[in-house]
């Protein structure tokens, strides 16, 4: 690279810094004393003290000499966090480095406020982004430092207590067990090397059953007779019910080692620390369509967020309902946008099949005769609490009498709580002619066929229900608290496909006045579904297993990989008089 920044002909000033979850945004003004060619685009790179480019910023807005650029600090394009080190931001054009970004005087006093700390590992470790002004007598160099920190004990040295010794022994035993598992895997990979290419594993560590998208794709493979071309195997365990027996471990490791393609349906804790072979294709068929709740790296820094290296980093691909929402999934998995493929949700193939729908509607009216001749409201919120063991819903918020009165002769109400909520809703006897608890009904999607109005909050069930082209209401009484505990990856009111209310009285008024803001449903459908058909399972099979990926998708993936390879080869070796710290990146 040609260093022209020392000439002072071109200058760049960072005027503002802000964050959206894990996305860093910089607003930069360029000051050019000479005209530059408009044929070659301006680019922005984060370069460490060794002269290596490790961040390529995306330009999201450009007007005259004002640029707004961004980078995801949990994924620098290589499915990893921005590496540890001190960075300067260079403005480049082709092979020329035009400017070293300076700190505008207006934000110098705010640099610490712009810095961020992202806690992980049960808040015992932290990935930090710190902004500061570099040393110089002539200008105010803009600098960014990334650090990875761990908790240390601040007490005076003392003899370890018995409890600490036990904890250390337990931790050491876990590390030893993992090391042994890795050794076993190495041997199993060697023994199963000839089986891998044509073996497909459907794996879940969240349930004892193969369900949802995994079941839809595996069933479709069998329907198409692909079991003649591939060996199809299954593994279903519930990680939360561990520890597992030696036999259980040997079985799952053997299946993983002989599989060239592995489909998973959720986070697999085993893969947080067990590295798969590079030629294994790991495909995430996550069941969620696109709700509001943050997950994975999109809620980095909060309790339950993943470590810098995790299962998510190993995904070859993930799936989504549309290209528009693919970035939400790539953000939470910490992988590149191009690797999230808009196939649609396989589990919805049957849901969208008209003959299946006709059969289910008849069965539902027979099972729930209360719904015959009435409009049906489904009250189906998500749970509150940290996890399955603490899940609950505050039933005292529900005004049964008010809801009963609003129903009149027009509506009946089905209550279906999240499966994690153990405590059942208690419906007063005097309202049982219009209210019924359907928690035991296994598949909420089937209920949608006879539902005329969905009442929910932050649940992803809106994804499926939107396809019914029917209205929704969102009872978000605790939106502020929920946003702090779980977080949203989109502005809630803007993305909810229906009217949002914050009190039960407002909910009743919306039902009474049929004030549902239905137009939001149609907008939601347009953005969230590239396909509304029963072909998602076939697309997953054809594109991932049979090598028939559309060319535009393949080209986009290759372009991103080439861009990252070129960035890694760029040499930004700095002049000796640079003021950057000399610590390693």
pLDDT tens digit sequence for 206-241: 999 999 999 999 999 999 999 999 999 999 999 988
Please determine, for residue 490, whether its predicted confidence score (pLDDT) is greater than 80.
Answer: no
**Separation CA 364–CA 407 (nearest Å):** 20
Mean pLDDT value across residues 262-272: 95
Mean pLDDT value across residues 55-60: 97
**Separation CA 465–CA 532 (nearest Å):** 13
- Yes or no: domain 350-528 corresponds to CATH 3.40.50.10140: no
Domains 180-347 and 350-528 agree in fold? yes
Strands 10-20 and 23-32: antiparallel
Structure tokens at 394: 């505050």
Res 173: pLDDT: 83
Higher pLDDT, 37 or 109: 109
Helix (H, G, I), strand (E, B) or coil at 141: strand
Res 32: pLDDT: 84
Please determine, for residue 579, whether its predicted confidence score (pLDDT) is greater than 60.
Answer: no
Residue 62: what are its φ and ψ, rounded to 5°? Answer: -155, 120
**Separation CA 455–CA 446 (nearest Å):** 16
Please determine, for residue 499, whether its predicted confidence score (pLDDT) is greater than 80.
Answer: yes
Res 577: pLDDT: 47
Please determine, for residue 585, whether its predicted confidence score (pLDDT) is greater than 50.
Answer: no
HEC sequence for 546-567: CCCCCHHHHHHHHHHHHHHHHH
Read off the pLDDT of residues 147-161 as tens digits, 9 standing for 90 and up. 999 887 667 666 666
Classify burial at 37, counting beta carbons within 10 Å of its beta carbon; exposed 0-12, middle 13-18, buried 19 or more.
Answer: exposed
Higher pLDDT, 579 or 533: 533
Higher pLDDT, 37 or 214: 214
Mean pLDDT value across residues 479-497: 71
**Separation CA 485–CA 305 (nearest Å):** 12
Please determine, for residue 475, whether its predicted confidence score (pLDDT) is greater than 90.
Answer: yes
Higher pLDDT, 6 or 181: 181
Find, among 249, 247, 248, 254, the residue nearest to 191 by Cα.
Answer: 254
Strands 96-100 and 102-103: unpaired
DSSP 160: P
Helix (H, G, I), strand (E, B) or coil at 451: coil
**Separation CA 114–CA 90 (nearest Å):** 20
List all residues 6 or more positions away from 186 whose beta carbon is below 8 Å from its beta carbon.
Answer: none
Q: What is the DSSP string of 85-115?
A: EEEEEEEEETTEEEEE-EE-GGGGGGHHHH-
Q: What is the percent of the chain where pLDDT is above 90?
A: 74
CA quadruple 183, 185, 190, 191: dihedral sign: positive
Structure tokens at 264: 């998973």
Classify burial at 85, counting beta carbons within 10 Å of its beta carbon; exposed 0-12, middle 13-18, buried 19 or more.
Answer: buried
List all residues 6 or more positions away from 262 whose beta carbon is below 8 Å from its beta carbon.
Answer: 200, 201, 203, 256, 276, 280, 281, 282, 283
List all residues 6 or more positions away from 187 whose beta carbon is below 8 Å from its beta carbon.
Answer: none
Res 578: pLDDT: 47
Distances (CA, A) of 394 to 381, 428, 472, 486: 11, 16, 21, 17
Contact call for residues 314 and 282 (beta carbons, < 8 A)? yes
Where exactly are the structural domains of the chain? 2-153+563-569, 180-347, 350-528
**Separation CA 418–CA 385 (nearest Å):** 12
**Which residues, in sequence order, are bridge partners of residue 31?**
11
Structure tokens at 273: 């620390």
Res 566: pLDDT: 94
Over the chain, what is the mean pLDDT? 91
Res 538: pLDDT: 98
Its CATH class, for the domain covering 180-347, is alpha beta
Res 479: pLDDT: 81
Read off the pLDDT of residues 526-578 as tens digits, 9 standing for 90 and up. 989 999 999 999 999 999 999 999 999 999 999 999 999 999 999 998 655 44
pTM over 0.75: yes
Structure tokens at 473: 């209401």
Res 480: pLDDT: 74
Res 574: pLDDT: 62
Q: Where are the alpha helices (DSSP H) in 131-233?
A: 162-191, 212-223
Contact call for residues 338 and 560 (beta carbons, < 8 A)? yes
Q: Which of 390-394, 487-491, 557-561 has the lowest mean pLDDT?
A: 487-491
DSSP 373: T
Res 287: pLDDT: 83
Read off the pLDDT of residues 317-368 as tens digits, 9 standing for 90 and up. 999 999 998 999 999 999 999 999 999 999 999 999 999 999 999 999 999 9
Read off the pLDDT of residues 302-324 as tens digits, 9 standing for 90 and up. 888 899 999 999 999 999 999 99
Please give the helix or strand (H or E) that residue 466 lies within, else none.
Answer: none
Res 516: pLDDT: 96
Mean pLDDT value across residues 297-301: 89
């Amino acid at each position: 690279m040609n260093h022209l920044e020392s000439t002072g002909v071109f200058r760049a000033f960072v005027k503002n810094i802000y964050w959206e979850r894990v996305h860093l945004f910089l607003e930069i003004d360029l000051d050019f004393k000479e005209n530059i060619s408009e044929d070659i685009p301006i680019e922005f790179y984060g370069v460490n003290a060794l002269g290596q480019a490790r961040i390529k910023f995306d330009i999201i807005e450009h007007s005259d000499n004002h640029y707004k650029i961004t980078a995801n600090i949990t994924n620098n394009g290589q499915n990893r966090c921005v590496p540890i080190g001190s960075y300067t931001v260079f403005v480049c054009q082709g092979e020329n480095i035009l400017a070293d970004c300076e700190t505008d005087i207006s934000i110098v006093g705010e640099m610490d406020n712009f810095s961020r700390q992202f806690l992980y590992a049960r808040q015992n470790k932290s990935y930090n982004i710190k902004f500061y002004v570099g040393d110089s007598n002539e200008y105010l160099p803009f600098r960014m430092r990334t650090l990875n920190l761990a908790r240390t004990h601040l007490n005076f040295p003392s003899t370890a207590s018995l409890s600490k010794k036990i904890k250390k022994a337990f931790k050491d035993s876990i590390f030893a067990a993992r090391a042994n598992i890795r050794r076993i895997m190495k041997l199993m990979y060697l023994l199963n090397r000839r089986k891998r290419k044509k073996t497909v594993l459907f794996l879940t560590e969240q349930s004892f059953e193969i369900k949802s998208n995994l079941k839809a794709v595996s069933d479709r493979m069998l329907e198409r007779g692909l079991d003649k071309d591939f060996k199809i195997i299954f593994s279903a365990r519930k990680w939360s019910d561990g520890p597992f027996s030696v036999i259980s471990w040997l079985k799952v490791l053997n299946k993983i080692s002989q599989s060239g393609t592995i489909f998973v349906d959720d986070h697999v804790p085993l893969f947080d620390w067990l590295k798969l072979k590079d030629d294994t294709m790991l495909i995430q068929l996550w069941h969620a369509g696109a709700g509001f709740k943050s997950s994975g790296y999109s809620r980095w820094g909060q309790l339950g967020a993943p470590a810098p290296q995790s299962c998510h980093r190993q995904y070859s691909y993930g799936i989504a309902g549309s290209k528009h929402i693919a970035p939400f999934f790539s953000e939470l998995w910490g992988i590149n946008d191009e690797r999230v493929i808009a196939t649609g949700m396989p589990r919805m193939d049957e849901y969208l099949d008209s003959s299946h729908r006709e059969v289910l509607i008849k069965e539902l009216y027979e099972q729930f005769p209360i719904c015959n001749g009435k409009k049906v409201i489904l009250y189906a919120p998500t749970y509150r609490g940290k996890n399955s063991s603490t899940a609950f819903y505050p039933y005292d918020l529900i005004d049964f009498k008010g809801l009963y009165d609003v129903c009149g002769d027009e509506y009946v109400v089905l209550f279906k709580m999240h499966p994690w909520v153990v405590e059942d809703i208690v419906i007063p006897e005097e309202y049982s002619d219009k209210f019924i608890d359907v928690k035991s009904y296994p598949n909420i999607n089937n209920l949608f066929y006879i539902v005329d109005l969905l009442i929910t909050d932050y649940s992803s069930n809106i994804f499926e229900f939107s396809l019914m082209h029917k209205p929704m209401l969102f009872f978000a009484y605790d939106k502020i608290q929920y946003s702090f505990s779980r977080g949203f990856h989109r502005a809630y009111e803007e993305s909810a496909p229906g009217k949002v209310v914050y009190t039960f009285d407002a909910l009743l008024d919306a039902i009474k006045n049929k004030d549902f803001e239905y137009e939001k449903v149609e907008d939601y459908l347009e953005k969230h579904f590239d396909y509304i058909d029963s072909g998602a399972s076939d697309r997953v099979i054809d594109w991932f297993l049979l090598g028939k990926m559309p060319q535009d998708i393949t080209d986009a993936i290759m372009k991103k990989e080439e861009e990252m390879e070129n960035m890694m080869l760029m040499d930004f070796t700095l002049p000796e008089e640079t003021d950057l710290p000399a610590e390693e990146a």
